Homo-oligomer: A and B are copies of this chain.
Amino acid sequence: MTAAATSTTPPGTSPPARRVPRQERSRRRVESLLDAAARLVVERGVAALTTRDIAEAAGAPVASLYQYFADKEGVLLALAQRDMDEMDTQVAEDLAGVELLSVATLVRTTMAAYVAVYRRRPAFVEIYLRGRTNAAVHRFGREHNVRTAQLLRDLAVDAGLARPDLSPQVAELAVEVGDRVFQLAYEHDEAGDQALVEEGITMVTAYLERYATPAGLTGVAR
């Protein structure tokens, strides 16, 4: 379930001179495996992913894969982790740039951030929107949604946009609905059906505004 132990250079011991230090080489291997996995997933879908193919595509022996990942699911999980981090970063950055924060802008900004990432990374669309058929991906997406919901809820409540009775469940529901909106919008359309996304933003916003404070409706300056 977890990646293999991180190899640490014993303190006080200088590693033998080499161009690429051991730890760095490891990191590169991991990255190349993840890249290969991502590539394959986009090409053939998550279901057809095999350890052999991942290794081969990364130019590594199959056995090496198990040096860095516990098992096949571990690869998917690491890949998801890496990608989710990128998504979270985008959301955080975009939210930080918002001047007038309200429930409406919170929803719009967040969902727009996702759109931005999906545009930049077609692999994400394939894996996280179309690849839900895979159990591991499904679970990870679900977990990420839970974390995202908590994050955004706390933000909204702390910023005085939402009443404290906005339960985690409600936040989760909102995020999940947004997630399903994306799944639909990108189902057939590589670029995503933006009108559908817009509808989704409307729906989620309207729903969440039921839990908004007056400030959440009008917005607060940052």
Residues of A within 8 A of B (CB): 47, 132-135, 138, 169-170, 172-173, 176-177, 179-181, 183-184, 193, 195-196, 199-200, 202-203, 206-207, 210
Contact = CB atoms under 8 A, between A and B. Distances in A.
Given A132-B138, A169-B199, A170-B199, 5 more contacts: A133-B138, A169-B196, A173-B203, A179-B180, A202-B207
Contacts of A183: 176
A86 B123 CA distance: 38
Contacts of A202: 207, 210
Contact of A172 (B179, B184, B210): B184
A196 B47 CA distance: 31
A203 B207 contact: yes
Nearest to A199: B173
Contacts of A134: 133
Contacts of A207: 202-203, 206-207
25 contacts: A47-B135, A132-B132, A133-B133, A133-B135, A169-B193, A169-B199, A170-B199, A172-B184, A173-B181, A173-B184, A173-B199, A173-B200, A176-B183, A176-B184, A177-B177, A177-B180, A179-B180, A180-B180, A202-B207, A202-B210, A203-B203, A203-B206, A203-B207, A206-B206, A206-B210
Nearest to A208: B203
Nearest to A185: B173
B169 A195 contact: yes
A203 B177 contact: yes
A139 to B, nearest CB: 9
Contacts of A138: 132-133
A206 B181 CA distance: 16
Nearest to A169: B196
A114 to B, nearest CB: 16
A145 to B, nearest CB: 10
